[in-house]
Amino acid sequence: MNQYSNQEIICPLIGDKAPSFVAQTTQGEIHFPEDFKGKWTILFSHPTDFTPVCTTEFIYFSEMMQDFDSLNTKLIGLSVDSLASHLAWLHAIQKDVVFQGMKHVKIEFPLVADLTGQIARQYCMLHMSAHQTKTVRAVFFIDPQSIIRTILYYPSSLGRNFDELKRILIGLQLHDELGISTPANWQPGDEVIESNPECMADLEKRLSENTSDNGAWFLSLKELPIEEIETILQKQRKSTPKKGKRT
């Protein structure tokens, strides 16, 4: 069996507790999730250092750090490269790379050195059908209770959509605060879906109040303006989000 094989590993799923680990990173040693208590975390992997797609992604992650920080969210990168390789690559990005007008970009979030692949195996970031010794582009959204809330996988040739990453994060946080869901192609400021009735009294109330054009009690939409979203997320940043209704 290849040393990076994950054939006998049970992959973590949405709703599972995120596997814990201690790791050396470009920002020093981290203990996950203890060091990130009370925060959302985006844990993401990239195939390898000094590759073009990964370079563009790290520039975008760095440029959006303030956006993620405003959403009470920390970033952790990972690949099966050494710490020396990570440091040399991040230094080269800051010194030499220009992408879409962005230059001298300093990567300040931790990048895990997982040379043995131990953490990558824990999170099933190594796919036998893709490449046995390189992590795929995986993204794990982990909430302040260390629960995995969303998992994304991308092939090595496809760079991630950062507007989508931010959209997912906002949608998850709004769900926790309000118990709402988001419809197809939802963007912040669009209508959201109210949680379904939990008893006959709730259903009758919903039927009496339903004035939406869709005519279906089980698809009840309501306005959620950008200004209200910003107020909710500001409140969320000051305290650990509570769990919303599962829908």
Residue 130 in 3-state DSSP? coil
- Choice among 11, 54, 124, 199 that is catalytic: 54
Residue 75 contacts residue 65 (beta carbons within 8 Å)? yes
Tell me the C-alpha distance between 129 and 18, whole Å.
24
**Active-site residue flag, 54:** yes
Residue 156 contacts residue 137 (beta carbons within 8 Å)? yes
Which tokens is 162 given? 């950062």
Taken as a whole, the chain contains a residue count of 247
Residue 170 contacts residue 180 (beta carbons within 8 Å)? no
Tell me the C-alpha distance between 5 and 116, whole Å.
11
Q: Which residues are identified as catalytic?
A: 54
